[in-house]
Amino acid sequence: MVYTILFFTHSAAIKFEHKCKKNHIKCELMPVPRILSSNCSISARINFEDDIEELIDDGIEKIFQTRDNDNILIYEAD
């Protein structure tokens, strides 16, 4: 499954990228797509088949799952 992950800070995105590399998960950092947020921030796109909750930490703001060209919000921090 393809996920787009939005972060509260740039440092949280970099930390997440390192976690993905350590766990052999391909992670692409990129600007947040305009359709997901108007913030000028950084996001990550990953292809992950396991339980996405394993990767959630306090730096993640939102997680969208891409299905049939739709982005479905599956996680939002409180």
* Residue 15 three-state SS: helix
**What residue has token string 């703001």?**
61
pLDDT tens digits, residue range 2-19? 999 999 999 999 999 999
Q: In this structure, how many other beta carbons lie within 10 angstroms of the beta carbon of residue 37?
A: 16
Asked if 66 and 57 touch (Cβ cutoff 8 Å), the reply is no
pLDDT tens digits, residue range 15-37? 999 999 999 999 999 999 888 87
pLDDT, averaged across the chain: 93
Say how far apart CA 20 and CA 14 lie, in whole Å.
Answer: 10
Higher pLDDT, 39 or 4: 4
Task: Say what the pLDDT of residue 37 is.
Answer: 79
Give the alpha-carbon dihedral of 22, 23, 25, 28, to 10 degrees.
-30
Average of per-residue pLDDT across 67-73: 93
